Copies of this chain bind each other. A is one copy, B any other.
Amino acid sequence: MIVRLPSEVKSKIRPAYQAGWPGLIEAYRAYLPVTDSTPVVTLHEGNTPLIPLESIAQQIGRGVRVYAKFDGLNPTGSFKDRGMTMAISKAKEAGAQAVVCASTGNTSAAAAAYARRAGMRAFVIIPDGYVALGKLAQALMYGAEVIAIEDNFDVCMEIVRALSERYPVTLVNSVNPYRLEGQKTAAFEVVDELGDAPDWLFIPVGNAGNISAYWMGFCQYRQYGRCDRLPRMMGFQAAGSAPLLNNCPVAEPQTVATAIRIGNPANWERAIAVRDASQGAFDAVTDEDILHAYRLLGAEGVFCEPASATSVAGLLKVQARVPDEATVVCVLTGNGLKDPQSAIDHSKATLKKGITPNLESVAAALGF
């Protein structure tokens, strides 16, 4: 038997929020270079959580509000999905049958997922002898065709560029102009949720594409009256991989934050312009700082990639400069599940083995 309620009761129990998010192209269509004839290739990416980091805010004190924009909850586990829904939709609109990228990490996963969903072939070119097959698990599962060549990553990049010029294959590495267009929507979401831009935005910087994309997004939203202010853009690099900070490319970058281990960023000049226009800064944090922030985030229930924790490490480093009652957003770019070994290697959690199987022993082991 169905109980039918009078309508005044029903309206009371209407949910406060209605589920359903169509993906960022449909949500922000008016702000993106798409038309009604663009075939939208989507996995309903975007609308990722803006999670209050209360214990970190408490540690800083002075009424500072701290949020994590957790882009690791995108469909393939990183912010790359934002750019890839745009790049693949535009490639499909142009009639592409295949895409190519040189990447061993998050880009290859996103490229493979969206290209295969669009019915295209996905080619991933990597250096041979690259042993961490686990990092390729996603690309393989989405059905990419992976080619390992007997040379280094720079040569991979040369080959994918040449391939895209000579064969019917669209290049979806960061030189693809639609990627940043998609990525800028993360800034829109932050504003939509907070009601305005934050005062400060902390973000990991590797290739420097994402800091540029966020800035594009905030500026566009302000231009169209959706926010009143613009944030100070605080770009953080790992100390062993800090070309922007040192104003010099790094030949052999070293850091535990592999996703930002880039010695010569593609968006170098753009990033400098963002820093200056926003009255922001670039700075670096040590691997130790990064791993400390990684664990602090874990204790707040947020499991990100080590590289993502660079933003929070940056905030902690310069916290004294953040004004009272400022609103701060730290960008977390990737899901911690991408790199379980780092969690095992760097957590400081308790693991006690060989406990006798009875209540008393277990209770004692727990300190009761």
Contacts and interface: CB of A to CB of B under 8 A. Distances in A.
Interface string A331-361: 0000111101101100101111111111101
Given A15-B30, A225-B5, A365 B147 contact: yes
Interface residues of A, number: 111
A25 to B, nearest CB: 10
Contacts of A22: 16-17
A322 interface: no
A75 B301 CA distance: 8
A298 B43 CA distance: 12
A253 interface: no
Main secondary structure of the interface of A (DSSP, over half): mixed
Interface of A: 2-5, 10, 12-22, 26-31, 43-44, 46-47, 49-51, 55, 70, 73-77, 113-114, 116-117, 119, 123, 125, 128, 133-134, 136-151, 155, 159, 162-163, 166-167, 188-189, 192-193, 222-226, 294-295, 298-303, 335-338, 340-341, 343-344, 347, 349-359, 361-363, 365-366, 368
13 contacts: A3-B224, A14-B30, A17-B26, A17-B27, A141-B294, A141-B349, A144-B349, A146-B351, A149-B362, A150-B354, A159-B357, A159-B359, A159-B362
